[in-house]
Each structure stands twice: as C-alpha cells, then as structure tokens.
Amino acid sequence: MSGRKTAMFTFGAIIVATGISSNVSQAMASVPARPQAKTKIVSSTVGQYLQKGYEQMRKGNYDAAVRILAAAVTADPDSVSARRYLAFALLRHGSLQEAMYQLIIIQKMAKATPFDNYTLGEAYSKMGRLKEAEACFRDALKSNPNYDPARASLIKTLSSVGKYDDAFAECLTGYKAAKTEMLSRYYRILYQNVQEQKLALRRIQDAVPATAGTVAAPGTVTTVQQQQVQTQSRTVGETR
C-alpha cells in the first residue's frame, strides 16, 4: 500500500476513534451506586450494542454496524450515544437521508458536539450541498479548533468550490498543530491535492475557450469549470 493510501486509511481510523471511541467507555461504565437526579444511565444492553457496533465500524463493516446500532436505538430511543453511532454508520454506509434524520433528532435532544457537526457536514457534502457542509465543518472547529477530521473535510470542501487560499491556510493551520507524524503527512498530502486542483482549474481555463461571447475574469470559477474541477477532485480523493 502506498504512503498516501496508508495515510488516508489510518486517518479514517482516527476519524472513528476521535469521534466516538470515548463514548464507548462512558457507555460501558458501571452504573454509580447513587446516580444524580436527571442523569441518563446507558443500559448495559445498549452499551454492549455500542461496543459491538464500534468494533464493526473499525473493521469497515458498516452493513453489520448499521444493524447492530439500529438495535441499540430501538432498545433505547433516548440514547444520544446510540443515535450518534448510528448516524455515523449510516453516513459511511451511504444512507444519507437516514443519517440526516438521526442527526436532526440528536440536535433536538442535546447540544451538538464537534463530531455531530462534522458528521452532518459530511452528509451535506455527499449530497452536494457544499455551502451547508462548509458551515458545519466551521462550527465543529469553533467548538474544537484541533478537531482534525472537520478541518480535513473543510479543506476538501473549500478546494472543491475554488477557495484555494482558504484551503491552503487551513492546511497550514492543521500542519502546524499536528501532534503526530501521520497527521503532518496527511496535511502535506491535502496541501498537494489543493495545489493539483488549482493547477487543474488553470489548465481548464486555458484550454476551454469562452462561449457565447462571455469571458470569465482571471481567477474566477465558472459553473462548467467548477463542475469539471469537482469531478477531478473526487477522482483524486478516491485514488489517494
């Protein structure tokens, strides 16, 4: 496996780990002898579902994870953790509408966490609603400036819509704050990808003649050009 693919694969594991693994220990913790009033205790049954669902997600088995975590929500519809796990599994499974539904319910039940905003942003991004996706990723970073999954997705979104300077700035911010060599390498890869997309746009602008007598101003992105660059962006993301 190439260095870039290894970095991408490892970062995918970090997304899962930083987003929800901490909730596993909380869900599986023993019930206090005297719980405080109004404190929601996650049942041992739901906790077991979450543990099993988490393990399936770490393995990339999202079909199984969705089934297990749906059972957790059925067992306890008031469990925010269960719905959060299920929303992420649904997102990775490609069930975007169902993931959005769970995320909307979570927002009504509790204050959104950086992970919630990140997951919602990912759903918007996959639906092509990049403006909403950008807002969600920025909300996640407002709550936690060191939340790397949200910053990485923000960089990709900014690059996709032609905001290259902003994307470069986020790459540098993430690179300077990176705590591990793997994260540093990942931000270098993102920076290079943004450069490649910017160069791709320039080549398109040079190669595609103006149509209908309309000439785009230098550095601007027309609708056709943006679609072409977004297509190439997805291709780059899938192969790296």
- Cα(229)–Cα(65) distance, integer angstroms: 34
This prediction has a pTM of 0.70
Expressed as residue numbers, the domain containing 199 is 133-209+217-240
Which residues are CB-contacts of 211 (< 8 A; sequence separation ≥ 6)?
none
Same domain flag for 102 and 1: yes
Here the tokens at position 75 are 């067992």
> With bands split at pLDDT 50, 70 and 90, how would you rate the model's confidence at 206?
confident
Residue 29 has pLDDT above 70, yes or no: no
65-79 confidence digits (pLDDT tens): 999 999 999 999 999
User: Does any domain span residue 179?
Assistant: yes
Same domain flag for 223 and 189: yes
User: Does any domain span residue 153?
Assistant: yes
Same domain flag for 94 and 186: no
User: Does any domain span residue 36?
Assistant: no
Which pLDDT score is estimated for 52?
A: 95
Residues of 57-75 as b/e, b for ≥16 C-beta within 10 angstroms?
A: beeebbebbbebbbbbbee
Same domain flag for 7 and 79: yes
Same domain flag for 153 and 105: no
Same domain flag for 91 and 159: no
Same domain flag for 97 and 182: no
Residue 40 has pLDDT above 90, yes or no: no
Which pLDDT score is estimated for 222?
A: 53
Same domain flag for 94 and 11: yes
User: Does any domain span residue 121?
Assistant: no
Same domain flag for 96 and 144: no
Residue 66, domain CATH: 1.25.40.10
User: Does any domain span residue 128?
Assistant: no
Here the tokens at position 191 are 């920076």
User: Does any domain span residue 177?
Assistant: yes
Sequential DSSP letters for the chain? --HHHHHHHHHHHHHHIIIIIHHHHHHHSPPPSSPPTTPPPPPHHHHHHHHHHHHHHHTT-HHHHHHHHHHHHHH-TT-HHHHHHHHHHHHHHT-HHHHHHHHHHHHHHSPPPHHHHHHHHHHHHHTT-HHHHHHHHHHHHHH-TT-HHHHHHHHHHHHHTT-HHHHHHHHHHHHHH--SHHHHHHHHHHHHHHHHHHHHHHHHHHHSPP-TT--PPTT---HHHHHHHHHHHHHHHHH-
User: Does any domain span residue 124?
Assistant: no
125 burial (CB, 10 Å; 0-12 / 13-18 / 19+) is buried
Same domain flag for 137 and 191: yes
Q: Which percentage of the chain shows pLDDT scores above 90?
A: 63
Which pLDDT score is estimated for 221?
A: 54
171-198 confidence digits (pLDDT tens): 999 999 999 999 999 999 999 999 999 9
Same domain flag for 100 and 161: no
Which pLDDT score is estimated for 17?
A: 46
Residue 18 has pLDDT above 80, yes or no: no
Q: How many CB atoms lie within 10 A of CB 109?
A: 13
Number of independent structural domains in the chain: 2
User: Does any domain span residue 9?
Assistant: yes
Same domain flag for 89 and 141: no
